[in-house]
Amino acid sequence: MDDLRDAAAALAEARRVVVFTGAGISAESGVPTFRDALTGLWERFDAQALATPQAFADDPDLVWGWYEWRRTVIDQVRPNPGHVAVATIEAHVPHTVVVTQNVDDLHERGGSSAPVHLHGSLFTPRCAGCARPAPAGTGAEPEQGRRLAPPRCAHCAGPIRPGVVWFGEALPEEALETAVQEATDCDVLLTVGTSGLVYPAAEIPKVAAMFGHTVIQVNPRPTPLDEVATLNLRGPAATLLPALVEAAWPVS
C-alpha cells in the first residue's frame, strides 16, 4: 500500500499528466489482444498475418471482414472502471493527455475527451488510395469468419481500409510527436496495461523517465518498463486505477 499512497501523492501534486495505455486495460473489458489465440471461425488465421498492407492487397475482403468483425465485438463491450478512472484523472488535472496504443473507442466512451491513438482506430477508416476519411461501420455487419467486401471511396472509388496502423507502417506523425512532447513535459506519466514490447510506442514512458519525471506503472505482471518506472503497482487496471484516484482525491 505504500506504493499506492506514494503514487497517489505524486498524481495529486501533478500539473501535467500523461496516461499511456495498452491492450491490458481493454482486455479487462473483454477485448481480445493480438497475443490471444483467435477462436471460433477465425482460429485458422494468424492475427498478425492479417494486420499487414500485403494481406489487404492480397485479400481485401478477408481483412476488411475481420476488422469489421473486431469492431462489432468492441461495440458489444463496455468501458471498465479503469477507463472511467482515467477520465476522472482528466477532470482533476486539466492538462492530462491520454495516449493509447489501443484501436478501440473505450476511452472515449469512458469519458476521455480526445485520446491520442498511436496505432489508429477501428472507428476511423480511410481510403486505401486517396487516404480520405470514410464513415465507420460502412457495409453489412459480418458474421464471424466471413469475408466482407470493403466499401468504395466516394471520391476515387478506391477500397476503404481500416484506420489502424498495420505491421510495417509508420505511426501517425502528429500523434507520435504529441506523445513524445507530452512525455517530455509532464510531471507524471501513468503507464497502464502495456507490455512495453511494441516499438516505437514503448519508448514513450522511457522518454518521461529520461527527463526525470515520475513514471507509475499499473500492470498485473512484470514488464520491461519495470526498470524505468518510479513506482510499480501490481494488479488489474479496473481495480487499481479507481483506488489510485480515490487515494489521490478522497471524497469527503
Q: Are 212 and 97 contained in the same domain?
A: yes
Q: Are 179 and 156 contained in the same domain?
A: no
Domain boundary among 99, 134, 161: 161
How is residue 65 written as a grid cell? Answer: 471482414
| pLDDT at residue 41, as a whole number | 43
Asked whether residue 166 is domain-assigned, the answer is: no
Report helix, strand or coil for 132.
Answer: coil
Helices (runs of H) and strands (runs of E) counted in the chain: 10, 8
Query: Which residue, 214, 202, 218, 211, is CA-closest to 181?
Result: 211
The answer to whether the Cα torsion of 174, 133, 164, 116 is positive or negative is positive
pLDDT in tens, the chain (252 residues): 699 999 999 999 999 999 999 999 999 999 877 655 444 444 556 777 889 999 999 999 999 998 988 898 899 999 999 999 999 999 999 999 999 999 999 999 999 999 999 999 999 999 999 999 998 865 555 555 578 899 999 999 999 999 999 999 999 999 999 999 999 999 999 999 999 988 899 999 999 999 999 999 999 999 999 999 999 999 999 999 999 999 999 986
Q: Are 130 and 15 contained in the same domain?
A: no
User: Number of structural domains, the chain?
Assistant: 2
Contact (CB, 8 A) for 76 and 70: no
| pLDDT at residue 88, as a whole number | 98
| pLDDT at residue 154, as a whole number | 93
On the 0-12 / 13-18 / 19+ scale of CB atoms within 10 A, 221 is exposed
Q: Give the CATH number for residue 130.
A: 3.30.1600.10
β pairing state of 231-234 and 160-161: unpaired
Q: Are 142 and 217 contained in the same domain?
A: no
Q: Are 106 and 131 contained in the same domain?
A: no
> How far is it, in rounded angstroms, from Cα 163 to Cα 251?
40
Asked whether residue 131 is domain-assigned, the answer is: yes
| pLDDT at residue 147, as a whole number | 81
Residue 119 designated active-site: yes
Domain boundary among 110, 141, 161: 161
| pLDDT at residue 69, as a whole number | 86
Instruction: Tell me the residue range of the domain where 185 lies.
Output: 1-29+79-119+171-252
Q: Are 12 and 137 contained in the same domain?
A: no
Q: Give the CATH number for residue 4.
A: 3.40.50.1220
Q: Are 134 and 95 contained in the same domain?
A: no
Catalytic site residue from 107, 117, 119, 213 = 119
Angle between helices 2-13 and 237-248 (to 10 degrees): 60
Please list the residues that pair with 95 across neighbouring strands.
Answer: 16
Q: Are 14 and 50 contained in the same domain?
A: no
